[in-house]
Structure 1
Amino acid sequence: MVLVVVVLLVAVMVVLIKLKLYPSPTSLKPICPTRWLTRYAAVKAVLDNYPDVLAALQEAAKELGSTTASRAAGLYKCLSSGEFLLGLYGSLPLIQCLENFNKSLQGSKVTVSGMLQAAEVTIKSLQSLRCEHKFKRLFEEAEQKLHLCDLDAIPLPRKKKIPKRLDQGLGFASNYYHDSAEEFYRVEFFSVIDAAVLNIKEYFTSTDLTEYQDLSSVLLTGTHKPEIITKYPELNESLNQQLDFFHNQFKGSTVEDYRKIFADMVPEVRRMFPQVEALLRLLLVSPASSCTAERSFNALRRLKTWLRSSMSQQRLNHLMICHVHRDRLATQSPQAIAEEFIRAEDKRRTIFGRF
């Protein structure tokens, strides 16, 4: 389906302008080539413009070149089938749910405990879609769209015969055939939901994220769990005492709250809780998301271009730091930086003087 929609966007843009169906070719959304979850807007745009897309494909099959015309004809045959349209309607709620989950993790302040809670909410949202009346509504919307576009109704798949090697009267049960297309595709829709839920559960339980969540609960609740503490040589038995004293003095609900509490502490008070600080550092050293690192890597192509091919590695590192932390850099005073640079050496004072 993804390949079909990608080729569709390329083939239909010119025809949409030619037919003047829309003021601009941005009505159909492009598909992100690297993230398959960011495709809700693209699928929704195709469904909203379905009759016009079919008309544009028919026009392209008649008037454009041979290669484009053959592709347009093939796409029209695919899009005019009821199975494809029902697949688009069925994929919308799943993609939207997973896309919201994906966006919730795109932040530098995301914690592992928050990520696991978001995964549980996503699983419940997906399981709520596994309902007969919700699929019935999707099926009815697809039928209405087919009727609007004057297309054939959604058919049942062709019945398969039992292989002769199995049909020997040995007591095998006969094949089960669904009574309607709605019943058949409802089973397929529920199978897709079950596969999505199973993959999320396996990913978030097969890794060390659950152990990380248990470690964060030690800090947030103050409960001592020896089976968890013994896995980390940085922690010892005095952690239980320090946690009790720490929770009597300071209150917080997230790991970020306790990070701010330690950041605002004076050094004398911080030295009273060395084990709590070590526990907090263990929780902060493992980020829940790699978005910051990925965005930093994506910024590399904007900094090191073919005009800057002779840039040294040291200068590139400095530019990357300035680019990634440009919010902090904007709060700094250029004059204060220049004065600090001059005060570093006496020779600079004679060269630059004072500002």
Structure 2
Amino acid sequence: MNQRTKLHTLCKTRWSSRADAIETFKNEFPALKTLQADGDEKAGQYLAAILRFKFIIALLVTEHILSSTDPLTNLLQKQVNDSLHVVCETRVVIKLCNDERADQYVWDALYDKAVDVSADFDIQPSMPKRAGRQQNRANPDVQTVSDYYRVTLYNVFLDHLVQEMETRILGNEDRYCAQHLLPSKLADLRDNMLPTIYAAFAPDLPQTYETFKSEIARWRVRWSMTDRKASRLHDTLQQTCKDLYPCICTSIGVLLTMPPTSATCERSFSAMKRIKNYLRTTMTSDRLSS
């Protein structure tokens, strides 16, 4: 069990712990037969709901997909983070999900594993009956059980996950174009990108677009004269003079302060629960702050 000896409770905020809990539950799944010998009515009801092919295939699909996103989740929960690094790793996870969605062998391996687990409990793979005019549930025109769960479960889950990552992390695409202002990426900066970068940071920039273009030209010449080029936002900001390059300094500063995660704020609320617990609900704000 790799030191995972008991089931974990479900956490609503930490997705990495959710992936660990599902993996532990999957590894302990063969031990569920012992619930039948306990004689507990509630345990018997849970066992009847769990020992279904629909639950088993959903468990394996969820564990497989969350294991792919677990490294990205851990990266997002670190206090020291870089939004550009997060965007790069998010693109990797999105490409991985899209590649696995298009690879039939990945789904076949998951389905065969679900069939093997179901065979240990004498469960036959099954799917709901298809109705010609059914509109209130998933009712695709498929012939096999494998195709049914691939269309209604696996593909839907992957598409939703990819859409959420694109919306939540890659949504500020114009602002991320400013990453080409980094000295290590200046070679990829094109003139047609300048209007997009300026428009994204225009409310914060102190100069006009023509001044911004002139500043970019001097910026390129400056870093072409040195071999050691900064590759991170924080290092670039420290080596940039605000009086000489006000627009570039402002753009990099705004991009650096964009939080890629809210984990730090959530940690403060979790810590506050240790002080203001349910037995201290009448504590006022002044005493809590003190």
TM-score by length of 1: 0.64
Residue 215 (structure 2) pairs with residue 215 (structure 1): no
Unaligned runs of 5+ in 1: 1-21, 164-174, 263-268, 317-355
Q: Distance in 1 between matches of 2:78 and 2:267?
A: 11
2-structure distance, mates of 1:234, 1:278: 7
Among 158, 163, 168, the residue aligned to 1:193: 158
Q: Residue 284 of structure 1 aligns to which amino acid in structure 2?
A: L
2:117 to 138, 145, 148: 145
Deviation of 1:233 after TM superposition, in Å, equals 4.6
Alignment of 1:229 with 2:198, yes or no, is: yes
Structure-2 separation of matches of 1:84 and 1:295: 33
Deviations 1:49-75 (CA, angstroms, capped at 9, x unpaired): 22322322x234x2x4xxxx1x32221
* Amino acid across the alignment from 1:210: E
Contact 1:304 1:311 in 2 (8 A): no
Superposed displacement of residue 240, structure 1: 2.0
TM-score by length of 2: 0.76
Q: Is residue 125 from structure 1 mapped to residue 89 from structure 2 by the alignment?
A: no
Find the structure with the greater CA-based Rg: 1
1:155 match: 126
What is the RMSD computed on CA atoms of the aligned residues?
3.4
Q: Give the residue type in structure 1 aligned to 2:160.
A: A
| Mean CA deviation greater in 241-250 or 121-130 | 241-250
Between the aligned residues of both structures, percent identity stands at 18
For 1:33 and 1:162, the matched residues in 2 are separated by: 37
For the structure 1 residues 278 and 185, does the alpha-carbon distance in structure 2 shift closer, same or farther, using more than 3 Å as the test? closer
- Give the length in aligned residue pairs: 266
Does residue 1:40 correspond to 2:19, yes or no? yes
Q: Shift of residue 99 of structure 1? A: 2.6
Match of 1:288 among 245, 260, 273: 260
Q: What one-letter code is carried by the residue in structure 1 that aligns with 2:178?
A: L
Q: Give SS of 1:38's match.
A: helix
Q: CA deviation at 1:154?
A: 0.8
Q: What is the alpha-carbon distance in structure 2 between the residues aligned to residue 271 and residue 129 of structure 1?
A: 50
Per the TM alignment, residue 186 of structure 1 is displaced from its structure 2 partner at its CA by 2.0
CA distance in structure 1 between the partners assigned to 2:231 and 2:67 by the alignment: 30
| 1:82–1:155 CA contact under 8 A, matched in 2 | yes
One-letter amino acid of the structure 1 residue matched with residue 74 of structure 2: K
Given that 2:26 and 2:59 are in contact with CA atoms closer than 8 Å, whether structure 1 keeps it comes out as yes
For 2:73, the equivalent position in structure 1 comes to: 102
Against the structure 1 CA distance between its residues 303 and 244, is the aligned structure 2 distance closer, same or farther, given a 3 Å change threshold?
farther
What is the alpha-carbon distance in structure 1 between the residues aligned to residue 140 and residue 285 of structure 2?
Answer: 69
1:53 matched to 2:32? The reply is: yes
Query: Structure 1 residues 314, 124: CA separation in 2 closer, same or farther (over 3 Å shift)?
Result: same
